[in-house]
Amino acid sequence: MAVNLAPPDPARLHRVAGVDLGVAMVNIRKPDRKDLLVMRLAKGAQVAGVFTRNRFCAAPVTLCRKHLKNPIRALVVNTGNANAGTGVDGLRRASAVCAALAAKIGCKPQQILPFSTGVIMEPLPVERIVAGLPQALKNESDWFCAAQAIMTTDTVPKAASAAVKLSGGMATVTGIAKGAGMIRPDMATMLGFVATDAKVDAAKLRAVCRRAADASFNCITVDGDTSTNDSFILVATGAGPAASSAKDLALLERAVTEVARRLAQAIVRDGEGATKFVTVRVERGRSLAECRRVAYAIAHSPLVKTAFFASDPNLGRILAAIGNSGIEVESLRLYIDDVLVAARGGRHPGYREEQGVAAMKKPEFTVRAVLNRGKAEATVWTCDLSFDYVRINAEYRT
């Protein structure tokens, strides 16, 4: 049940020169579905990444952090099994996958980045993954198929493209992501991969990667849980024009952020059991951190999110969530869409209950909190919490 989210049009997903994609079916968890992706990169490609802040991180996350010190030649992604909570054995299994792929494409195991998503605390089926590598390397796939191959509880594949004119010519940016549950802004989403054919210095690419994540994946929450496997990777193959000037780099960062934001919002729209897409905007705070604290207090609250699901403008729940943020709220003005519902610590005299109900019945609406304490602002995106969220997660392993 995705909120105003259709599958991407494969024809609008642009090929990125220097990235070769291949998928395979290896039956990791569910039969007859794409569940293995290999992304081969041209020599000289620069790669940057940010990862989960969950201290119980998965084996592939540990390896990726180490391997990023080397020139990266390929990414390998499996769905159906997270290889998290698997200890030393999990590291051995992830390393075995890296070694097998490296042997097939002629590079070192340390030049492979592994990624896994799925059920936690189950051993990674290395034999099936290794057996599927030849198929993935042989099958020339597109970004749409790649997006399908990394899905778990997603109902829709998530992919987006953009083009940007640099001084040396047109550059392409294309990305895919997966995620529908265990989504909280403590790095990024479950898995996200964005590639550009632009040529970018390694240090500058790392900065672009961090800022793009902060403006997109770090602004979403479905259920307030941080995954053990969260990874966001940005690749610059160098097969296209160089982003050498400050202007070029700014234009490229804008395009990367646009793609990342579209992917991040798609994750919220496809949140497990979601029926509402909600923008939470906090304005006139003293700092970005303060505004985000208030926004997350609203967006993480189960009581607020269940009220969203019921189209119930239970203002007390929203005000209580804001109060739990620890921010002074004497001058707070609270809006649902354009309807002023609360001011100066209580219900606005002109507010009528039917106005709030009408706004919250829409599949998309905005909760806006004006703090009147400064000039900073922040926006996060979230969804409601429905009966189906409980059902999906109760049945996840059955």
Whether 4 is in a domain gets the answer: no
Specify the higher pLDDT residue, 396 or 272: 272
- For residue 351, what are the contacts with CB-CB under 8 A and spacing of at least 6? 339, 340, 341, 342
pLDDT over 50 at 365, yes or no: yes
pLDDT at residue 188, as a whole number: 47
164 plus 260 within the same structural domain: yes
311 plus 337 within the same structural domain: yes
The pairing of strands 376-383 and 277-285 is antiparallel
- Output phi, psi for 78, to 5 deg: -120, 150
SS3 283: strand
CATH number of the domain where residue 217 is located: 3.60.70.12
Distance from C-alpha of 179 to C-alpha of 212, rounded to nearest angstrom: 17
Average pLDDT score over residue span 187-195? 77
198 plus 307 within the same structural domain: no
pLDDT at residue 186, as a whole number: 55
Contact 295, 279 (CB under 8 A): no
pLDDT over 80 at 366, yes or no: yes
Q: pLDDT-derived band of residue 101, with 50, 70 and 90 as boundaries?
A: very high
Distance from C-alpha of 296 to C-alpha of 164, rounded to nearest angstrom: 32
The domain in which residue 373 lies consists of: 277-394
Whether 1 is in a domain gets the answer: no
pLDDT at residue 53, as a whole number: 77
Tally of residues, the chain: 398
Strands, DSSP E only, in the chain?
19-24, 36-41, 46-51, 74-81, 112-119, 158-166, 169-178, 191-196, 220-221, 231-236, 277-285, 333-336, 339-343, 346-347, 364-370, 376-383
pLDDT over 70 at 1, yes or no: no
pLDDT over 90 at 390, yes or no: no
> Domain boundary at 225, 244, 269, which?
269
Whether 96 is in a domain gets the answer: yes
77 plus 160 within the same structural domain: yes
Distance from C-alpha of 6 to C-alpha of 273, rounded to nearest angstrom: 16
Helix axis angle, 302-309 relative to 315-324, nearest 10°?
160
Whether 19 is in a domain gets the answer: yes
pLDDT at residue 272, as a whole number: 81
Whether 333 is in a domain gets the answer: yes
**Percent of the chain's residues with pLDDT above 90:** 79
Whether 2 is in a domain gets the answer: no
Distance from C-alpha of 143 to C-alpha of 262, rounded to nearest angstrom: 15
SS3 81: strand
CATH number of the domain where residue 307 is located: 3.10.20.340
pLDDT over 80 at 276, yes or no: yes
> Domain boundary at 223, 239, 269, which?
269
171 plus 284 within the same structural domain: no
Whether 190 is in a domain gets the answer: yes
Contact 38, 149 (CB under 8 A): no
Average pLDDT score over residue span 177-192? 67
* C-alpha to C-alpha distances, 93 to 26, 38, 179, 207, 316, nearest whole angstrom: 16, 17, 24, 31, 50
pLDDT at residue 91, as a whole number: 97
253 plus 285 within the same structural domain: no
Q: Is 189 a catalytic residue?
A: yes
Whether 215 is in a domain gets the answer: yes
pLDDT at residue 54, as a whole number: 74
Specify the higher pLDDT residue, 7 or 397: 7
Distance from C-alpha of 19 to C-alpha of 267, rounded to nearest angstrom: 24
pLDDT over 60 at 92, yes or no: yes
pLDDT at residue 115, as a whole number: 96
Average pLDDT, the chain: 92
pLDDT at residue 119, as a whole number: 86
pLDDT at residue 222, as a whole number: 78
Q: pLDDT-derived band of residue 61, with 50, 70 and 90 as boundaries?
A: very high
96 plus 245 within the same structural domain: yes
> Domain boundary at 229, 251, 269, which?
269
User: Which candidate in 86, 174, 189, 382 is catalytic?
Assistant: 189
58 plus 165 within the same structural domain: yes
pLDDT at residue 31, as a whole number: 86
248 plus 329 within the same structural domain: no
Instruction: Tell me the pLDDT tens digit for each residue of 203-242.
Output: 999 999 999 999 999 898 876 666 677 899 999 999 999 9
Q: How many domains does the chain have?
A: 2
195 plus 121 within the same structural domain: yes
171 plus 297 within the same structural domain: no
54 plus 146 within the same structural domain: yes
